[in-house]
Structure 1
């Protein structure tokens, strides 16, 4: 993932990043996905809906 971040690539997310955060807060499940989302945010990525998916982009 870090290589793609360094190259400024976009990411396609198949799981709802907003629900993932809520599920993690409530159940503590999905920690690695939430950590990846926080890493993307740290490096300036934004997330928007992309059809049935979500796109993380700079």
Structure 2
């Protein structure tokens, strides 16, 4: 019974997140457009750092 409740809850979260993912890739009329590029994150010594920092590598 517990696993059924957990599965139903997980399915509800996935179903509710789907429209939010597609929203940035639509124009005002609801037509799909090209999505903007995602910002690059960089790391230095295992921690997040500015990509302008010398030695930082993109993830």
Shorter-chain-normalised TM-score: which range? under 0.3
TM-score with structure 1 setting the length? 0.23
Greater strand percent: which structure? Answer: 1
Greater helix percent: which structure? Answer: 1
TM-score with structure 2 setting the length? 0.23
- Which structure has more relative contact order (CA 8 Å, sep 6+)? It is 1
The structure that has the greater radius of gyration is 2
